[in-house]
Amino acid sequence: MNIAIIGLGLIGGSVGLALKRDAANRITGFDHSSTTAEEAYRRGIIDSVALSLEDACYNTDVIIFATPVNTTVDMLEEIRSMKLKDGVIITDTGSTKVPIMDAASILIDQGLTFIGGHPMAGSHKSGVSAAKEHLFENAYYILTPDPRTDQKHVEQLRQLLRPTKGKVRIVEATEHDRMTAVVSHFPHLVASSLVGRLADQQEHQPFIKKLAAGGFRDLTRIASADPVMWRDITIQNRDELLKQLDGWFEEMSAVREMITANDPVRIYNYFAEAKKFRDELPLTSQGALYMTYDLHVDIPDHPGIISEITKILADERISITNIRIVETRTDVYGILVISFQSADDREHAKFALTSTTNFSMHIV
């Protein structure tokens, strides 16, 4: 299978590494950054470097756009005039689907096959250097085919994506954008607004920033995401986000009225129902938001304790994405928080630390 990957960052590079698990796949890569393309070639992510979009797409069975949504929309316009291989399947990896599917509609009218895609996985790092072949394992990989698309082409793409080990699901584009607005895009707005409230308070209460280093920091972690990407997502999914904001205002109005009424039973039920629903959310899949897998460790305060822990993890070849000491531990269990890339890494670390340590500790 001849595959072209357009855009060789974290997602494009990881798609390439995953698809290379199938030795029958030959991958050509194109990126506006020649340095990025060369690094992808050196790492074996791609088999050859294309010098232009047209070169990458020539005589290719599958074209995968792993570029920002706005860039993909522009490139879909470019390929309209190109000579493409008969039966080519075109897809993308963008996080909003309606703008992409709208742009692809003209291609579909011309008889080409375009199937929207969104692998719901990410990383705390970006760029081709952070690409991993296992990035999409057990993560949802959403496909949004046009109603006119032949199901045999959808199945062909599903089979092509098998080496990613993602959980492929078929969803209508509008439904995809509505759901991601609820569980991903809108939470970013809320997290950023909470940080904004903290920033406003800090001027008159400087110490508040210190107190925010615990649970508040974890709660608003997603506000640290790339502002350029989230500017674009907010613009692209504007209508769904406005609907979510309207619902949020209604919810907050009801919460304000509940607090004003000061009814202990009503307040308890509000928190109890939220806790029950939240505790029933799945633990075994990535979902729409990139998440870290944290291990909270209570340890005694003595010199060298952290180096002992990191040595144990290093000996077990367990990679960590972050490690920090928590001073403000309201709503946070443990003095030390260690973050991992996957649930498997976290469980491996938990077993290693509990079975090999010779000091008193408690792991949550």
Contact 133, 18 (CB under 8 A): yes
Query: Over 50: is that where the pLDDT of 332 sits?
Result: no
The domain boundary residue, chosen from 171, 202, 220: 171
Question: pLDDT > 70: what percent of the chain?
Answer: 90
Which residues contact residue 85 at a Cβ distance below 8 angstroms, ignoring those fewer than 6 apart?
58, 59, 60, 61
Residues 248 and 304 in one domain: no
Question: What is the predicted pLDDT for the residue at 207?
Answer: 86
pLDDT digits (tens, 9 = 90+) for 216-231: 877 888 888 888 888 9
Output the pTM of the full model: 0.77
| Best-predicted range by mean pLDDT (26-35, 192-201, 294-303) | 26-35
Q: Given this model, what pLDDT does residue 290 score?
A: 56
Answer yes or no: do 21 and 153 share one domain: yes
Residues 90 and 191 both lie in one domain: no
Residue 237 clears pLDDT 80, i.e. is over it: yes
- Alpha-carbon torsion 55, 58, 60, 63, what sign? positive
Q: How far apart are CA 273 and CA 25, in angstroms?
A: 49
Q: In the prediction, which pLDDT does 109 show?
A: 94
Please report whether residue 284 resides in a domain: no
What is the mean pLDDT of the segment spanning 131-152? 92
Beta bridge pairs of residue 304:
none
Taking only the tens place, the pLDDT of each residue in 28-75 is 999 999 999 999 999 999 999 999 999 999 999 999 999 999 999 999
Where is pLDDT greater, at 179 or 358? 179
**Among 279, 313, 339, where does a domain finish?**
279
296 φψ region: left (φ > 0), alpha (ψ -120 to 50), beta (else): beta
For residues 165 and 22, is the Cβ–Cβ distance under 8 A?
A: no
What would the pLDDT profile of 242-271 be if each residue is shown by its tens digit?
A: 999 999 999 999 999 999 999 999 999 999
Is residue 99's pLDDT more than 90? Answer: yes
In this structure, are 202 and 338 located in the same domain?
Answer: no
| Residue 152 per-residue DSSP state | H
Mean pLDDT for the chain?
A: 88
Q: Which of 104-108, 135-139, 171-175, 289-293 has the lowest mean pLDDT?
A: 289-293
CB 164 within 8 A of CB 119: yes
Over residues 318-339, the mean pLDDT reads: 68
Q: How high is the pLDDT of residue 11?
A: 94
Share of the chain above pLDDT 90, in %: 60
* Kind of pairing between the strands at 293-298 and 336-340: antiparallel
Comparing 22-36, 39-53, 70-84, 299-313, the range with the smallest average pLDDT is 299-313
Residue 104 confidence (pLDDT) above 60: yes
Residue numbers of the domain that contains 79: 2-171
Indicate the residue among 171, 189, 211 that finishes a domain: 171
The average pLDDT across 257-286 equals 88
Residues 199 and 270 in one domain: yes
CATH of the domain at 313: 3.30.70.260
